Amino acid sequence: MRIGHRVAVAAMVCLVAVSVGEAADSSTADFGFRGGYQRFTEGDGAFLGGAFLRLPWRSVVMGEGAILYHSHSEGPVELEVIPIQLSAVLFVLRRDLDFSPYLLAGVGAYIARRVEDGGNSDTDFDIGWHLGLGLDYKLNDRIFVEGDFRYIWQDLDFKGQTVGDKLSEFNNWMATAAVGFRL
């Protein structure tokens, strides 16, 4: 594992540890199920599904961990991807409103497995970054629905580019909807 990957994994572990430590003093955690669509740079995309857990850190900031799964075919090759994302979620207004918009940023580990018709397979591991926004809608005190949109950058080699140039070359995007429960 390269040094950059180790730093990213360490940062993810620290975010979760801080969130868990602060969760005892804050309001409620959220757990839910998410489904959506992820589109890749090449134009192919796939539906995905999974679960998320949010732990309160401050009154308007939460740490979120999510694991999703999707697979799709590219000719004779079956591609499976498991995004494991850790995000900081900043609610722009208060979290307890009926409509609560939020911004998010985070890091993810993306595990991709290619399986060819002949049975040959190859697994790849990438670290990537994501930025996004979303909206929670509170159905009642314990149940909410949400939608969010994330830009994802997995190719982090700048090769002489500025940060602005690199941000304009996102690798893919993800749009999801979820139902969640306040614990």
pLDDT at 119 over 90: no
> Measuring CA to CA, how many Å separate 36 from each of 5, 14, 61?
27, 28, 24
Domain boundaries of the chain, sorted by first residue? 3-182
pLDDT tens digits for range 44-85: 778 999 999 999 988 899 999 999 998 887 778 888 889 999
> Measuring CA to CA, how many Å separate 173 from each of 45, 50, 60, 129, 152?
9, 16, 25, 11, 6
Higher-confidence residue of 12 and 83: namely 83
> Measuring CA to CA, how many Å separate 59 from each of 5, 14, 62, 86, 100?
31, 19, 8, 19, 13
Higher-confidence residue of 179 and 162: namely 179
- Kindly state the average pLDDT of the residues 18-32: 61
Higher-confidence residue of 140 and 24: namely 140
- Any idea which residue has 């850190």 for tokens? 57
The most confident of 40-44, 74-78, 83-87, 151-155, by mean pLDDT? 83-87
pLDDT at 9 over 80: no
- Among 149, 155, 176, CA closest to 68: 176
Percent of the chain residues topping a pLDDT of 70: 75
* pLDDT value for 133: 97
* pLDDT value for 78: 84
CATH 2.40.50.100 fits 3-182, yes or no: no
* pLDDT value for 20: 43
Q: How many residues in the chain?
A: 183
Percent of the chain residues topping a pLDDT of 90: 45
Higher-confidence residue of 114 and 103: namely 103
Query: How much of the chain is helix, strand and coil, in % rounded to 5?
Result: 15, 60, 25
Mean pLDDT score across all residues of the chain: 81
